[in-house]
Structure 1
Amino acid sequence: MKRVALWLIAVVGEGNEFTKADLRDAFPGVSQVDRRMRDLRDFEWQIDTNRDDPELDSHQQRFVKAGIPVWEPGRSARPKGTTAIGANRRREIIAADGYMCRSCGIAPGGEYGDTGEAAQLDIARRPVRRPDGTKRVELVTECNRCRIGGRGLEADLSRVLAAAASLSPIERRVLAGWITADEREFSRVERLWGDYRSLPETSRTELRAEMGLD
């Protein structure tokens, strides 16, 4: 892993692309060198694939930025609370999350309405702020699009618990129904509001004018 990190910095360079073949050619005879590189993500290194950046081909990757200098003494211990995610664990997480992106609700293979692109599900590490003020990293299912837009997001469980505690009995029953079903059916007006918010300013102006708001 240390050698791969140094190769990325010295040979590839931040912001540049490389292929799996380039990586394997640089480390001939090294087994699971791909996995050693993926391990760097646990040390805040950002290495994008086509799951993260649609502009990349399936064989391409991009070294976006370096993280913790793992080659320095004492810096290569895996950060507390992080473990490698194996295939079995990945399947367990996706199943527990209802086989859908927990950010937008899309299922694997579902098409994004604006592009027709098929969604792929993967596992993201999400910092969660606890009621006692501490943070812990939890694993969550996200689609390829939400993983890109969700970098740097932090969940705040203490805020959610406080908000839930302040609900009226009727609101609590409604929320309990959504939680039990793990689904909420949005009204037509709510869906239209989401569509409006996604429009560029010129189009938003046209809609406001159509509704007599300008």
Structure 2
Amino acid sequence: MSDNLEVPSWRDPTLGTMKRVALWLFSEIGEGNSFTMESLLSAFPNQQGSRRMRDLRTFDWEIEPLDRLDRSSYLLRRVGRRVWEPGVTRPARGALTSSQRIAILSRDGYKCTTCGIGPGESYPSSDDRGPAILHVARMKTRTAKGLIEEVLRTQCAACNVAERTGQLIPQDSQGAREAVAALSAGQRVQLLVWIMNDSRTRSEVEKVWDLYRVLPADAKQELAAHVGQLVEAEVATE
């Protein structure tokens, strides 16, 4: 849109909240400057200001926390599409094909790249989220040259929602240290390999388990019977 168009006031009550949040960021904060969540919520009390701010990212606005573990302060790195102008729409995205989706899931070992849960598995906490469902999520990442690129990675539905809404809470590092202390020396070596590679090496039996978890119910029963027959035959020959 033309830069000659008059920029409306962010205080205009006839505009939607997302447009008003965009105008507030554009006129009150400015590209390249930081702001606090407290200031945003103060400007838009009881109007879902934080959610509308996140919605702007789908219009190419680059808004990121100054500290990934503390989402109280944000940087407006780039002003995207001027949503308050007539006719502005979200950029089009090509839908993933089935083969593309399977390729991403396979690459990530059919595990959520955030929490590590597999399809159909139960979450370790005692909540009622039900079995895990995996999706291929579109995530934005910054390259070494400072460019924003979209990457595709596997994420469970719970982590995807938590990350998009800014509710993904880091785990207690002290608890992780205690868990590491309980491992054997060999297990700690294996953990270090995973950490250095930023990827978990999956055994062959785990890969088959992942395949089993995504089979239809009748195919699961058929495979269970097949494995049972193989085990019985092996036991009989011992």
Report the TM range for the smaller structure's normalisation: 0.3 to 0.5
Output the TM-score relative to the length of structure 1.
Answer: 0.40
Output the TM-score relative to the length of structure 2.
Answer: 0.37
